C-alpha cells in the first residue's frame, strides 16, 4: 500500500552538518557528491538553464539533499556575481553539502568531464584544423533538454512565485528583456522592487545595500592591461583568463566578446575564426560553456595552457562562493535582504523562461524534434524519468534520425 505523499523538504537531511558525521559517513557523502557531479558534468548539454534543471531534478527531487527554497537562494546569488552561473550553483551545492571539501569536489567534478572532452577536441583541431562533426549528437539531445528545463521552471516557479509582487516581477522581466535591457539590471530592479513593496514602513538601515555591490564587480578592474610582448606562455594565459573569470557575466556569447578582445584585438595571438571555433566547441559539449577556455589555452600554449586557462577562468567562482556562502543565512534573516532575494529569484525565473523559449525555437526544428520534445515532456511530468536517461535517449534518437536521412 502506497504511503501518503509528504512535502519534499520533510525528507531533506540538510540539517545534518558535514562536520558532525563520522569519518566513514563523511567519505560516503563526498563520494556521493563526486558521483552526482561527474554524471551531471558528462550529460549536462544545453547551457546553464538545462544544467540548473538537471541539478534541481538530481539533488532536490531525487536525493533530497536540500530544499528547493535554498536552491533558489543559491541561484539568486549566482546571478549577482561574476562567473558561470551553473558552475557556481554546483559549487554552492557542494559547499552546502560537505563544506570546503564539497565545494572543491562538486565544482571540479562538474567541470572535469567537459574539460577533458574539449581538451581532446582541441588536440584534434590543432592537428586537422577542423572541428569534428558532432551536431548529430545535439539534434536529439536539445529537444529532450527543453522538457527538462520546462519541468524545472514549473517546480522552481512554485517556490519562487510566492505572492503577487514576485509574480509581477517575473512577468515584467520577460517583457522588458525583449527591449534589450541588461540582464543584471533586470535582476537588480526585480530585487529592489520586491524588497521595497514588502518592506514599506519598515526600518533596517543599510541592509538592502549588502548584496548590491556584488552585481557591480564586473564593472571594476576591467581596464585593459598591457598586451604581453612575447609569445604566449601558460603563465600569461593563466593571468588573462583569471581576469576574464573575475569580471565576466553572462553567456557563452559574452565570453566570445571577451576572447575576441583579449586574444585577437589586443594580443593578436589568435584569429577570429579560431575564437569562433573555440566557442562552438564549448557550446556543443556537455558541462560549462566556460570550458571554451580549455580549447583556447591549448591553442595558445599546449597542454600547460589548457590546464592553466581552465583553472584560471573558474578560480574566481570558487573563491566568491567560499567568501559569500557563510553570510547567506544571516542575509535571509533580514527582512530587506530577504525581500531583495525573493525579487532576484523571481527575476531569475523570468530570465530562465526567456532562455527556454529561445532554446525551444532553436531545438524544435522539424517533426522529429517536435515529437521528441512532446514525448520528453510526458516522460518527465507523468513518469518522472531521470534526466540522464532522457539525454541518452535523445542522443540515440538523434543518431537514428540522422542515419535515416
Q: Mean pLDDT in each 10-residue stretch from start to end of the chain (405 residues)?
A: 42 66 90 95 83 91 89 83 86 92 96 94 82 65 81 83 92 86 80 88 52 44 47 91 80 67 85 79 82 94 96 93 80 80 84 81 86 91 80 82 67
Which pTM does this prediction carry? Answer: 0.72
CA 289 remoteness from chain centre: 9
The pLDDT of residue 309:
96
The pLDDT of residue 250:
54
Task: Kindly give, in sequence order, each residue whose CB lies less than 8 Å from that of residue 139, ignoring residues fewer than 6 positions away.
Answer: 369, 398, 401, 402
The pLDDT of residue 252:
54
The pLDDT of residue 249:
61
**Nearest CA among 85, 117, 103, 80 for reference residue 33:** 103
The pLDDT of residue 305:
96
DSSP assignment, residue 382? T
User: Alpha-carbon distance 292 to 354, whole Å?
Assistant: 24
The pLDDT of residue 92:
92
Residues 212, 213, 216, 218, CA torsion sign: negative
The pLDDT of residue 132:
55
The pLDDT of residue 306:
96
The pLDDT of residue 328:
72
The pLDDT of residue 47:
76
User: Residue 26 burial (CB < 10 Å; 0-12/13-18/19+)?
Assistant: middle
Side-chain-side CA neighbours of residue 334 (13 Å): 18
The pLDDT of residue 203:
57
The pLDDT of residue 340:
85
| Residues 200-222: tens digit of each pLDDT | 756 554 444 444 444 444 444 44
Task: Kindly give, in sequence order, each residue whose CB lies less than 8 Å from that of residue 88, ignoring residues fewer than 6 positions away.
Answer: 78, 81, 317, 320, 321
The pLDDT of residue 87:
92
Look up residue 235 and give its three cell numbers.
603563465
End-to-end CA distance of the chain: 49
Amino acid at each position: 500500500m502506497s504511503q501518503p505523499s509528504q512535502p519534499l523538504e520533510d525528507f531533506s537531511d540538510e540539517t545534518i552538518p558535514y562536520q558532525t558525521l563520522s569519518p566513514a559517513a563523511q567519505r560516503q557523502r563526498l563520494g556521493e557528491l563526486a558521483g552526482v557531479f561527474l554524471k551531471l558534468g558528462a550529460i549536462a548539454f544545453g547551457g546553464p538553464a538545462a544544467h540548473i534543471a538537471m541539478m534541481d531534478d538530481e539533488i532536490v527531487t531525487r536525493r533530497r539533499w536540500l530544499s528547493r527554497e535554498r536552491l533558489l537562494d543559491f541561484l539568486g546569488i549566482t546571478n549577482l556575481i561574476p562567473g558561470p552561473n551553473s558552475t557556481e550553483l554546483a559549487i554552492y551545492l557542494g559547499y552546502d553539502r560537505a563544506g570546503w571539501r564539497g565545494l572543491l569536489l562538486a565544482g571540479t567534478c562538474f567541470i572535469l568531464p567537459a574539460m577533458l572532452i574539449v581538451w581532446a577536441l582541441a588536440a584534434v583541431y590543432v592537428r586537422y584544423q577542423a572541428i569534428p562533426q558532432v551536431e548529430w549528437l545535439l539534434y536529439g539531445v536539445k529537444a529532450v533538454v527543453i522538457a527538462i528545463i520546462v519541468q524545472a521552471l514549473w517546480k522552481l516557479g512554485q517556490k519562487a512565485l510566492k505572492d503577487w509582487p514576485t509574480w509581477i516581477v517575473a512577468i515584467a522581466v520577460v517583457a522588458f528583456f525583449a527591449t534589450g535591457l541588461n540582464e543584471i539590471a533586470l535582476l537588480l530592479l526585480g530585487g529592489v522592487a520586491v524588497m521595497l513593496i514588502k518592506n514599506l514602513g519598515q526600518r533596517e538601515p543599510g541592509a538592502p545595500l549588502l548584496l548590491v555591490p556584488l552585481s557591480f564587480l564586473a564593472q571594476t578592474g576591467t581596464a585593459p592591461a598591457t598586451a604581453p610582448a612575447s609569445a604566449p606562455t601558460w603563465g600569461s594565459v593563466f593571468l588573462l583568463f583569471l581576469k576574464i573569470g573575475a569580471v565576466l557575466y553572462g553567456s557563452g556569447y559574452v565570453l566570445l566578446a571577451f576572447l575576441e578582445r583579449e586574444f585577437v584585438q589586443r594580443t593578436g595571438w589568435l584569429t577570429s575564426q579560431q575564437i569562433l571555433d573555440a566557442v562552438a566547441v564549448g557550446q556543443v559539449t556537455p558541462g560549462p560553456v566556460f570550458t571554451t577556455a580549455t580549447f583556447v589555452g591549448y591553442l595558445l600554449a599546449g597542454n600547460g595552457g589548457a590546464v592553466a586557462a581552465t583553472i584560471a577562468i573558474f578560480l574566481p567562482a570558487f573563491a566568491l562562493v567560499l567568501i559569500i556562502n557563510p553570510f547567506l543565512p544571516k542575509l535571509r534573516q533580514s527582512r530587506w535582504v530577504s525581500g531583495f532575494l525573493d525579487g532576484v529569484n523571481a527575476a531569475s525565473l523570468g530570465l530562465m523562461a526567456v532562455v527556454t523559449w529561445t532554446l525551444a525555437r532553436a531545438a524544435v526544428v522539424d517533426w522529429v524534434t517536435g515529437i521528441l520534445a512532446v514525448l520528453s515532456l510526458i516522460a518527465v511530468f507523468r513518469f518522472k524519468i531521470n534526466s540522464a536517461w532522457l539525454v541518452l535517449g535523445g542522443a540515440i534518437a538523434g543518431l537514428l534520425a540522422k542515419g535515416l536521412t
